[in-house]
Amino acid sequence: MPQVVCTPDEVVSISDNSLDDISSFLVLDVEATCVPSTGFDWPNEIIEWPVVLLRWDKTDTNDTKRLVVVDEFQSFVRPTFRPKLHPFCTELTGITQAQVDSAPTFPEVLSLCQQFLQRNGILNSEGRPLERFVWCTDGPWDLRDFFTKQVFISKVNRPSWIPLNILDVRQAFGSWYKGVYLRKHNKYPHRNGAFSMNPSYKLKKQLELLGLEFVGREHSGIDDSRNIARILIALAARGAILRPNLDISTNRRFSWMGANGKIVGDY
């Protein structure tokens, strides 16, 4: 299938009031413990929690909506269930044993992240929202799966400031790109379903199709988050609608999750 690289001047006009209700976009891409040759049903622990905060540029007088980076938060996280990193994990993420050994635990990181949100006027002193914001991830896995595993392992409740509806950037990009492709090539899905597109593109491919290159180290949480933020900025400049598009179930469970927060099985 021919691919369309979208240049910055391909902007689709949108009404100004369609996005004004979302003030902040919190981009998150976690890294977690891992070992080779295991499936996804494994008790990963989060070892890096990075957040890139985007807001609308209030100084821009143009009609086009523009997102800008206004702040960042990043912390390594000390795992407690399996505190020793596998060499495979260090090679994949670049995160060292010394970095996690000296890091705060996950509940402490959540508290530090809440303080970051409070400093930026997103939450009040009691942790309640002061504005409408949305968490943004590349796919559903960070907040649907890794976060669910971590709050179970850490025996903490999901904070109310991490709601169950998020913006899956990969899904948003796929939907937008499909529309751009169809318009450019005057193609539309046949009624019998003969024409179709895969709406899911990995992070580097999304950047490539936007005419951008990946900056930094892959599988570094903060670098991945920054690149996802660049995709959101590019989508906003092109008029894509950026709204929550994925609901997360609170009933997500894995086979090793036993009663009373106990991990069962040999891990």
Active site residues: 31, 219
Q: What element of type H or E holds 133? A: strand 133-137
Cα(90)–Cα(87) distance, integer angstroms: 5
Under 8 Å CB-to-CB from 193, ≥6 apart: which residues? none
Distances from the Cα of 247 to the Cα of 16, 97, 139, 164, 252, angstroms: 25, 34, 12, 6, 12
Residue at 166: amino acid letter: I
Both tokens assigned to 117: 């949100």
CA 73 to chain centre: 14
Instruction: Classify strands 46-56 and 31-32 as parallel, antiparallel or unpaired.
Output: antiparallel
Which of 126, 136, 125 is closest to 22 using CA atoms?
136
From the centroid of its chain, how far is CA 69?
A: 15
265 vs 180: CA distance, rounded Å: 48
